[in-house]
Amino acid sequence: MPEGATSISSKTTTASGWRAFTVAERHPETSHITSFVLKPADAGGLPHYRAGQHLTLRFKGPDGAPLIRDYTVSCAPNGAHLRISVKREPHGSASNWLHDHLQPGQDIDVRAPSGDFVLPEEATRPLVMVSAGVGVTPMIAMLEAAAEAQDGRSIRFIHGVRDGAARPFAAHVAALAARQGHTRLDVFFSRPASGDLDAPGHHEGRIDIDFLQRETPIGEAHYLLCGPMPFLRDLATGLAAAGVPRGRIHYEFFGPMEEIFEDDAAPAAEPAKPAPGSGAYVGTDAQMAVEEHVARALLDSAADAVVASDAEGLITVWNAGAERIFGFAPQEALGQSLDIMIPEPFRARHWEGYHHTVSTGESRYGAGDLLAVPGLCKDGRRISIEFTIVLMKDAAGVVTGMASTIRDVSKRFEETRTLKKRVAELEKATGAA
């Protein structure tokens, strides 16, 4: 391994799924975004993935402690390499370290790409790709895949940036659009520099729902959205209000986990399905010991769901409360990924924190902290849940899994939201008077 390498695993895939990749190239896309081209250190084949998915990276940070982050694969499957394109964040320890230290020849640990934010396979409907800033990265991969497929689908590629200097992949996107043959480009500049507005399809301002309603096929298209939360909330809720079925609104975001839609808990595009797992679940002595530990640690679990998982995030304990809340019988849930109960837009952030906790033995949350996030049921409903986390450790202090008590608080959430809306209406009426 070259001097300064940051890989923690060996060059072969470990039992935990980590595999060393070598940085083959790095390219500046803008002053704040750098692309890293990755190839397997063992010279083996690339993992299978779909355009739009993300991969998980693990590397040693400035203090030597492992950092785990998720980054979109910014290229379509090509059989030669993976590519990530990372924005330097002012206070981002991981992004700053990658920009400042990761060089060609160094190794970094990678998990196979995953995620459901992918290019829709249905080629008969138009696609509208809408992104802001570095949210363009999955769109680049999808546009590459569409150009390669040559299936004749109509694409509207809409991107928002500060100015031309901050726009990544500009020439590459133009070339892909020409190659695909049915792609129309629009770029919005919030603070355009001289010359930014000279080209056709270049606009001053920000992308808004009025533009999408006026310029895109609302009644037909799949909408693919990627960017920060305020951007997504405005566009996703606007599209839903305009009559676009939520099954045709696909999104990926950066920032805290919270719901996009403000109205009723949004249904998933499809009912949740158990992910391909490790086959029939068989409890070992160690796993049975974990179950006993969970039983002792969570004494008041009868009315709530009790769910435990191993270091890989596979479910090892699933009680009657979990079946009642989420709908999966124990034989359906045990041995499956926690993804079956996590809405897709929140999975990347969940796994980033999960793998970091397993690797470091430390959680960002204190014992007993009550967390609130959306949950996903077997029938596709989204619910509001609150939960606490208990880390399960072996005698050496190594995290072997996690356990949670989970409560469905959807009714209380709705009552609170209704009350807030009523208070806002009264305040508005009082102000008007």
Give the pLDDT score at 215. 97
Contact predicate 168/33, CB 8 Å: yes
pLDDT over threshold 70, residue 250: yes
pLDDT over threshold 50, residue 269: no
pLDDT over threshold 70, residue 80: yes
Using 50, 70 and 90 to split pLDDT, how confident is the model at 17?
confident
pLDDT in tens, 302-321: 568 999 999 888 999 888 88
The strand pair at 305-310 and 315-318 is best described as antiparallel
Q: Give the predicted TM-score (pTM) of the model.
A: 0.67
Quote the tokens at residue 349.
């952030």
pLDDT in tens, 98-149: 999 999 999 999 999 988 899 988 889 999 999 999 999 999 999 999 999 9
CA dihedral 56, 113, 38, 355 (to 10 degrees): 20
Lowest mean pLDDT among 56-60, 404-408, 429-433: 429-433
Using 50, 70 and 90 to split pLDDT, how confident is the model at 229?
confident
Helices 170-180 and 137-149: crossing angle, nearest 10°? 30
Angle at alpha carbon of residue 259, lines to 253 and 261, rounded to 5°: 100
pLDDT over threshold 50, residue 4: no
Alpha helix stretches (DSSP H) within 272-377: 285-297, 320-326, 330-333, 347-360
The pLDDT > 90 percentage for the chain reads 49
Looking at the DSSP bridge assignments, the partners of residue 108 are 21
Give the pLDDT score at 109. 94
Quote the tokens at residue 302.
């009868």
Using 50, 70 and 90 to split pLDDT, how confident is the model at 259?
low
The per-type count for the chain, helices as H runs and strands as E runs, is 10, 17
CA–CA separation, 278 vs 110, rounded Å?
A: 20
Quote the tokens at residue 325.
């809340």
pLDDT in tens, 335-388: 899 999 998 888 887 888 888 888 888 776 655 567 778 899 999 888 988 888
What burial letters (b/e) apply to 379-413, b meaning 16+ CB within 10 Å? ebbbbbbbbbbbbbeeeeeebbbbbbbbbbbbeeb
Angle at alpha carbon of residue 151, lines to 148 and 153, rounded to 5°: 110
Q: Residue 143 contacts by C-beta under 8 Å, 6 or more apart in sequence?
A: 129, 155, 157, 173, 176, 177, 180, 183
Give the pLDDT score at 246. 84
pLDDT over threshold 50, residue 300: no
CA–CA separation, 268 vs 379, rounded Å?
A: 9
Query: Hey, what domains does the chain have and what are their CATH numbers?
Result: 19-114 (2.40.30.10), 127-254 (3.40.50.80), 285-413 (3.30.450.20)
Helix (H) or strand (E) holding 175: helix 170-180
Q: Residue 94 contacts by C-beta under 8 Å, 6 or more apart in sequence?
A: 59, 61, 67, 69
3 Cα distance to chain centroid: 32
Q: In terms of Cα–Cα distance, which of 344, 309, 371, 354 is closest to 69? A: 354
pLDDT over threshold 50, residue 282: no
Quote the tokens at residue 424.
């806002």
Q: Residue 65 contacts by C-beta under 8 Å, 6 or more apart in sequence?
A: 360
CA–CA separation, 240 vs 212, rounded Å?
A: 12
Q: Could you identify the residue written with the tokens 């196979």? A: 112
Looking at the DSSP bridge assignments, the partners of residue 86 are 34
Q: In terms of Cα–Cα distance, which of 99, 112, 80, 111 is closest to 35? A: 99
Q: In terms of Cα–Cα distance, which of 375, 400, 380 is closest to 390? A: 400
Lowest mean pLDDT among 14-18, 53-57, 159-163, 421-425: 14-18
